[in-house]
Structures are given as C-alpha cells and as structure tokens.
Amino acid sequence: MEYLLAQDVESVVEITGLTIAELADELGVSRITVSNWINNKSKASERHIKGFYTYAFKKGVRLNKIKEEFYREDEVKTNELLLFHGAKTKIEGELRLDCNKRINDFGNGFYCGENLEQSAMFVAMYKNSSLYMLKFDPSTLKCKKFNVDRNWALTIAYYRGRLNEYADTKLVRRLIRDVEGVDYIVAPIADNRMFEIIDSFVDGEITDVQCRHSLSATNLGMQYVFISKRALSQITLLERCYLADLEKEAYLAARKDCFKMNLDKVKLAKKQYRNRGVYIEDLLK
C-alpha cells in the first residue's frame, strides 16, 4: 500500500487556497508534474514525496490528524474501530502474527494503538517509518482486556521472559491460560519506563501496590494485540500515512515532556505506597 499522494495534494490545494501552479512553484517542480500526481499519471520520487509532506506540515496543514477525524466520524456509524499501526518502514504483503522480531508484551502478534500520536511516537525515531490507519471489526471475536494492575504486569513479565522461576505457579499458569484462548488482547501500552517498574517488582524491590500505582503514572493509552489469524481477517487497512521529519520531531518532543512528568509521578508513587501490598515472593510462593 502506497501513500494517497493524489488525494493529499488535492487536500493541500483546497486548504491553502493555492493553485496547482503556485503549489508546484513552492515545491520546485513543474505544474505538469503536480497535475500528473493528482491524476495518477506519474509516480512521485521519494525526494518529491518528502518535499511535499514537509511543505504541508510547515504550512500548518495536519493531514494525518484531519484524516483521523474523518475516519472517527465514520467509525461512529459502524461497529468497527479505528486503530493505528506504526511501522519502521512499511507493511510488505499480508498482515502476519510474526512480523515483530523483538520480544513483545504478549508474544507474537500484530500490535496497534488506539490513536495516531500514540502509535506514531513509537516509530518516530526511524528514518523511513510510516503510519497505517486501519479499521477493525471485533463483533465475532473473543477478547481479553487488561487494566493497569498486577495481573497485567505479571503477564507482560512472563512473555518478556522475566518469570521463568515462577512459570509453574498457579497464578501465572492461570494468567497465561486466560490469554491463550482469545483472538485479540486490549491492554495498556508498556514502554521502557514500565518495563523498568515491572522489573523492580519482579526483582523484589517494590510491592505489587507500589508497582500498580507507578505503572498508572506512566499511562500511554491502550494497545490492541491481534494474536489469531481470525482476528487478522477482521482488519482492513485504510491507508498508509507519511510521517514528515518535522511531524516526527513534534511527537518525540511531546513524548519527552510526558516522560519527565510521569517520572516525577513514579517517584512519588513509590514513596507514597511504600510498605503497602506484597512482594512477588510472597505472592507467588
């Protein structure tokens, strides 16, 4: 799936009030070139694609946010959900459950977020990253939903290989059994900050209550994890969206600001709930 460049060029012309010739001048190309993009008579080079989307963002045209709003308005009329998938480059071929090579929160699966910024910020540091908007019909599927709690932290710790010594305990076996029989999972997103907190809990440095309140302080929203082929069959890719470098920088800056505030919350949560709750050895013995 390629970018919807023709549609996006027309949108920028409409929003800015520029003529095609004026837009062409701004981009340093001929009017015929822009007309050919709009009419799909020629394919734009990577340099021209980058130049166009960078220009649009500099002019204050937030194409991706506008698209998100339109899709959300359509979402209200159906039972389908609008989701987002950040890719380091692009999706090749059909959607797969094993497309992620790193260790993930819930093992193999196709991971999506519930809003644009949330998904874009996780791939904003990659040079050729892009964002996919998709719709998902959950009506016939079985779901497991997690909140920011002890069970969620323990499940993530298990899939990330941090509970090997507790894998045969009754609680851990039950948690994994609950996940294995579903089509998709809805759970809070975990990033490196959360992994550090979960590690502190697994290592016996903080209690389950301290862990839960610290994790709540770093809330990044919810993720959808598709773990069955049946779930993948209910996904429809809507479009691939270009992430201009300036747009990526904005997402990274917002994430940095959020990180500082959440870090302060974590410090206070550990102090406020000190000596409350149980340690992992007592919980899983």
**For the segment 147-179, what is each residue's pLDDT rounded down to a tens digit?**
988 999 999 999 988 898 888 999 999 999 999
CATH number at residue 16: 1.10.260.40
Same domain, 42 and 150: no
Question: Considering 46, 61, 76, which residue would you say is the last residue of a domain?
Answer: 61
Range of the structural domain that residue 47 is part of = 1-61
Number of domains in the chain: 2
Same domain, 33 and 162: no
Same domain, 136 and 29: no
* pLDDT value at residue 243: 96
Q: Where residue 230 falls among pLDDT bands split at 50, 70, 90?
A: very high
User: How far is residue 66's CA from residue 70's CA, in Å, rounded to a whole number?
Assistant: 6
Same domain, 161 and 274: yes
Same domain, 47 and 74: no
* pLDDT value at residue 101: 54
Same domain, 41 and 119: no
User: How far is residue 209's CA from residue 151's CA, in Å, rounded to a whole number?
Assistant: 12
Sheet holding 81-87, edge to edge: 143-145, 184-188, 222-226, 110-113, 81-87, 130-136, 235-242
* pTM: predicted TM-score of the whole model, two decimal places: 0.89
Q: What is the pLDDT of the chain when averaged over all its residues? A: 89
* Half-sphere exposure in the Cβ direction for 250 (13 Å, CA): 12
Tell me how crowded residue 161 is: count the other CB atoms within 10 A of its CB. 9
Please check the confidence at residue 102 and state whether its pLDDT lies above 60: no
Q: Where residue 12 falls among pLDDT bands split at 50, 70, 90?
A: very high
Same domain, 28 and 110: no
Same domain, 188 and 248: yes
More confident residue, 76 or 89: 89
Rounded to an integer, the average pLDDT of 246-258 is: 83
Q: Where residue 257 falls among pLDDT bands split at 50, 70, 90?
A: low
Same domain, 103 and 217: yes
What tokens were used for 6? 């023709």
Rounded to an integer, the average pLDDT of 137-150 is: 93
The label of the residue with tokens 């040079």 reads 127
Same domain, 96 and 112: yes
* pLDDT value at residue 11: 96
Contact predicate 109/226, CB 8 Å = yes
Same domain, 123 and 200: yes
Q: Where residue 103 falls among pLDDT bands split at 50, 70, 90?
A: low
Same domain, 116 and 193: yes
Please check the confidence at residue 260 and state whether its pLDDT lies above 70: no
**For the segment 185-213, what is each residue's pLDDT rounded down to a tens digit?**
999 987 777 888 889 899 988 899 988 88
Q: Where residue 259 falls among pLDDT bands split at 50, 70, 90?
A: low
* pLDDT value at residue 265: 74
* pLDDT value at residue 70: 92
Helix axes 31-38, 20-27, angle to 10 degrees: 110
Question: Considering 10, 45, 61, which residue would you say is the last residue of a domain?
Answer: 61
Question: Considering 61, 86, 103, which residue would you say is the last residue of a domain?
Answer: 61
